[in-house]
Each structure stands twice: as C-alpha cells, then as structure tokens.
Structure 1
Amino acid sequence: MSDPKNPELNPQTLQGDPSPEELEAAQFANEADAQGELATLQAELAALQAKNAELADQYLRAQADVQNARRRADDDISKARKFAVESFAESLLPVTDSLEAGLAIQDVTPEQIREGAEATLRQLKSALERHKVIEIAPPPGTKFDPHQHQAISVVPTPGQEPNTIVGVLQKGYTIADRVLRPALVTVSSAG
C-alpha cells in the first residue's frame, strides 16, 4: 500500500511491518482526507446548484421580457394602424364639408361651381400630400419608367425619342415612395 500523500503508508519510510496503531492512524488520515474532499465537492455542488437556479430565474425573466416586448409591439402596431386611418379620415373631413356646402347652395352659376370644385380639389390634394400620397403626372417627353408608369398604347411620334411618354391618360400616385397606382400613359414607338 503506497500513498505518496501519507508517508506512514509509504513502504520506503516504514521500517518493517506497520503497527496496528500506525495502520489505524493512516486509515483515520485517509478518512479525514476523504471527508474533506467530500465536503469540498458538496460545497461546489451547492454553489453550482445555486448558480443553476439563478440562471434559470434569469432565463424565465428574459422570456417574460421578450413576451412583454412582443405584446407591446403588437399593441403599438395595432394602435398605429388605427390612428393612421383616423388621421387620414380626419384630414378628409374638410373636403366633405366643402362638397356638402357647395351642394347646399341653390342658385349657383357655372363659374361658382367651377371655383368651388377647384377649391375642394386643392383641399383634397393638400390632405393627400400631408399623408405622403403624391401624384405621378409625367410631362410629355419623360422617359418611360415601368416602375411608375403603365403603357396603355404605343404611338408613332416623329421627332420624339422612342420609349418616352407622349401623354398621360390617368395620373398615378405614390404613398411613402411606394407606387399606389401607376400613371396610365401613351408611349412613343421606336419607328
């Protein structure tokens, strides 16, 4: 029985056979070492269990935070959609009021009707522009852009470059830099 930690059990240090007292002392020392190691391991286990419980708690809290953030984001998106439509509708109310006021007048000349319609159209365009709805009305000679224009017909036009706009049949509109409706246009042909 050789134990480098315990010189009493090392055969090189013992002279002859160990006495029963020496064996008992060696066994007691080994048991004390084992108990000390066991206590150290138990302390490490307790520390690891505490750390595990702490990490599990942090994980659960992080999960709850993520769920709460997701719920808040969904609520914010829902409110933004609701109030965006509300704001747009509110900006159109003066246009409705103008149209109703114009229709309520009994004796109206054609010039007054035209002036009222033009004023109402300005109100409507202003309300649309406030909500980033911008018209697409390319002037003749503008290069055809398939992302913003839709060609309805191709016509031969001497003296004009091919694939340029000859005329606009219906204005298009963008909303926040996205095409809401392309402009319907006539385009010059190549020959």
Structure 2
Amino acid sequence: MNADDTKIEPTLDGAPGPADVRPPEEREATAAANEADLAASLAELETLRAKNAELSEQFLRAQADMQNTRRRAEDEMAKARKFAIESFAESLLPVTDSLEAGLAIQDATPEQIREGAEATLRQLKQALERNKVLEINPAAGTKFDPHQHQAISMVPAPGQEANTVVTVLQKGYLIADRVLRPALVTVAAPQ
C-alpha cells in the first residue's frame, strides 16, 4: 500500500479524517463502551429532567404559598385597621349613655349635675386607661421632660430648682408609651 492508498474516513463532525486502523475487536469494544456511556448519559439526563420538573413544581407551589400568605396578611391588616377602634368605641358607649341620661333630666339641681359630671368623668378616665391612654400630669417641682411636656413660659419660682414644672396648664396623654399630646406647663426660670 502506498501513501496514496491510505483510506480516509469521515470523522464525527463530517470532516475527513484518518481511517481507524485498530483491529475490529477493539473497535467493537470501543463502540460497545460508547453505547454503554451513551445509555448511562441518557439515563442520567432523564433523572435530571425528572428532578428539574420536581424542583420546578416545588418552586411554583412555594411561590403560590407565598402569594397566599401575603394576601391573607394583607386581608388581616386591612381588617385590623378597619376594626382597631372597635374596642375603644365600646368602652366609650357607657360614657355616652351617662351624658345622655344627665341631659334628659330637666329639673336637675346644680349638685346633681356636678355629681353626674364627676361620675361621667370617672367613666371616661376608666375607658381611656383600659385602652392604654394615660394622663401626663407632672407634679410641681418635677424635672421638665421635653419628650412629655411642652413649656408655655418660664416664670420666676423662688425656692424651686430651674427647669422644673411650676404649674400644669393642660394635662398631656400617652397612648401605649407614645405621646399623644404633651402636657402644657410653665417652667421655673433660672435664678
């Protein structure tokens, strides 16, 4: 065989390449091994496809669960906002009833009116306290707290330390440790 008689067979990509000069048994063994590798690769590919489908389904379920949870939370928040004042309103109803009953009496004496007003005020304060609305009413001599008090003026107060409360002009209120309205106070001036 001369150099020109060399048999050229196409390669896998279709380009001509050198002929396989291995013995037929070796070529068959290689082909069988390639087929086994191909079968194993196909089995692995099917396994990966099944796993991918399973993970995709799990992802979609998790996403749907998350959307449902978000929607439920939004619904609960909307209901909480809508009915948050319900408890407070219920505790104010007896106060309303007392005021209406007092106004219904045509010939009440000033003492009766005062007693009724005091009883109604007690009811109102109890309703506020049940709903965590607490008074800010600092005693004279209490250190001025800018977070809970609003100074209206500074006045000379002999015998009292500077920057302390002299008088309360209007009570303040807290709601759950948050200032609803600061107490209006006069403060002792430095001497």
> Considering the TM-score relative to the shorter chain, is it more than 0.5?
yes
Deviations 1:62-110 (A, max 9, x none): 1111111111111112222222211211111111111011000011111
In 2: Cα distance, 1:50 partner to 1:100 partner: 74
% identical equivalent positions: 72
In 2: Cα distance, 1:68 partner to 1:188 partner: 59
In 1: Cα distance, 2:138 partner to 2:177 partner: 16
Q: Which residue in 1 is equivalent to 2:6?
A: none
Instruction: State the AA in 2 paired with 1:97.
Output: D
In 2: Cα distance, 1:175 partner to 1:185 partner: 19
Instruction: State the AA in 2 paired with 1:26.
Output: E
Q: Which residue in 2 is equivalent to 1:129?
A: 129
Deviation at 1:43, TM superposition (A): 1.2
Q: Which residue in 1 is equivalent to 2:168?
A: 168
Query: Is it true that 1:54 corresponds to 2:54 in the alignment?
Result: yes
In the TM superposition, what are the counterparts of 1:89-128 in structure 2 within 5 Å?
89-128=89-128
Instruction: State the TM-score, normalizing by the size of structure 1.
Output: 0.86
**Structure 2 unaligned regions, length at least 5:** 1-20
Q: Which residue in 1 is equivalent to 2:24?
A: 24
**How many correspondences in the alignment?**
171
Instruction: State the TM-score, normalizing by the size of structure 2.
Output: 0.86
Deviations 1:146-167 (A, max 9, x none): 1111111111111111111001
In the TM superposition, what are the counterparts of 1:58-97 in structure 2 within 5 Å?
58-97=58-97
In 2: Cα distance, 1:131 partner to 1:83 partner: 14
Backbone CA RMSD of aligned residues:
1.3
Q: Tell me whether 61-70 or 179-188 shows the greater mean CA deviation.
A: 61-70
Q: Which residue in 2 is equivalent to 1:157?
A: 157
**Structure 1 unaligned regions, length at least 5:** 1-19
Q: Which residue in 1 is equivalent to 2:146?
A: 146
SS in 1 for 2:144: coil
Q: Tell me whether 63-72 or 180-189 shows the greater mean CA deviation.
A: 63-72
Q: Which residue in 2 is equivalent to 1:6?
A: none
Query: Is it true that 1:40 corresponds to 2:40 in the alignment?
Result: yes
SS in 1 for 2:147: coil
Deviations 1:29-84 (A, max 9, x none): 11110011111111111111111111111111111111111111111122222222
